[in-house]
């Protein structure tokens, strides 16, 4: 792991002494220096760091203003700041801690104490980073369909609800496509469920290829998929659905599925008040269109009436 530190102090001698003390213990691979809070903040914007050592009393921008600027940026709030202050500056120490500093070192400082405090806060930072990554992974897993890698139904419903509320507030278009693989049960019965899973995965990949980067696609359940198309009119959504239908019809597979040819039926709807005032109403419109597509011969696109 590449550890980095930012040392902010208007004294070149103090900065050099701090860096020499840290270098002796090989705690960091990169060292950044700044002579005041303003330069330090610019350095931080250019190169994020793992820990900051900052003097309180500096020209142009002191340590308190620097801490205030850090508070305004959520992406910097997890970076520990150890303040550097004079031996008798009790009030300044308290004020610095109240404004978000993690710890303090008195000047003139003891190198061993400096290193010990830096080690503690560096370890805490790494633990926080690991926890954050774990939480992000858990969130991603909770939102993902394990088979296809697409979003799952739970995430889809949350995302669709937000889009519906946005459309109600601001107006504009919002369209929905429901896709169902035709005769998918026959695929499972003929080739087995493991091969059926391969078909689902390939359809999922193809569906996402045909959508825009800001559209949301999810596995709705079984062999059904759903795509949310913000700012898309009914005509535009029908065009996309037809493109998806053709792409799926053109899919080819390796053995033992080389003889398999699949098609899909799609239902398309556009959100409109008052005919659909809720997410469930909206989905039902698209689902009714899908039903007509399936009862009209399958491998076709139908839109809500």
Q: Which residues are catalytic?
A: 223
Taking the C-alpha atoms of residue 3 and residue 118, their distance in angstroms, rounded to an integer, is 12
> Which pairs with CB-CB distance under 8 Å and at least 24 residues apart come from 184-191?
184/222, 184/223, 184/262, 187/260, 187/262, 191/256, 191/257, 191/260
């Amino acid at each position: 792991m590449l550890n980095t530190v930012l040392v902010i102090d208007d004294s070149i001698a103090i900065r050099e002494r701090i860096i020499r003390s840290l270098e002796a213990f090989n705690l960091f691979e990169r060292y950044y220096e700044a002579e005041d809070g303003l330069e330090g903040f610019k350095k931080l914007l250019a190169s994020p760091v793992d820990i900051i050592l900052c003097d309180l009393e500096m020209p142009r921008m002191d340590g308190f203003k620097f801490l205030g600027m850090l508070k305004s940026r959520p992406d910097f709030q997890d970076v520990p700041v150890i303040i550097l202050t004079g031996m008798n500056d009790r009030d300044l120490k308290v004020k610095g801690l109240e404004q978000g500093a993690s710890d303090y070192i008195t000047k003139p400082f003891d190198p061993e104490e400096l290193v010990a405090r830096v080690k503690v806060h560096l370890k805490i930072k790494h633990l926080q980073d690991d926890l954050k990554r774990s939480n992000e992974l858990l969130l991603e897993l909770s939102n993902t369909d394990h088979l296809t890698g697409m979003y799952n139904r739970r995430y889809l419903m949350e995302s669709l609800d937000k889009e519906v509320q946005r459309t109600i507030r601001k107006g504009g278009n919002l369209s929905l496509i429901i896709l169902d693989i035709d005769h998918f049960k026959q695929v499972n019965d003929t080739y087995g469920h493991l091969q059926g899973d391969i078909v689902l995965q390939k359809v999922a990949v193809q569906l996402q290829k045909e959508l825009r980067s800001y559209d949301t696609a999810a596995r709705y359940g079984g062999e059904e998929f759903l795509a949310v198309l913000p700012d898309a009119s009914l005509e535009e959504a029908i065009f996309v659905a037809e493109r998806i239908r053709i792409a799926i019809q053109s899919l080819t597979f390796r053995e033992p599925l080389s003889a398999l040819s699949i098609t899909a039926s799609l239902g398309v709807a556009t959100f409109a008040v008052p005919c659909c005032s809720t997410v469930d109403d909206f989905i039902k419109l698209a689902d009714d269109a899908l039903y007509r597509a399936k009862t009209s011969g399958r491998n076709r696109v139908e839109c809500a009436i």
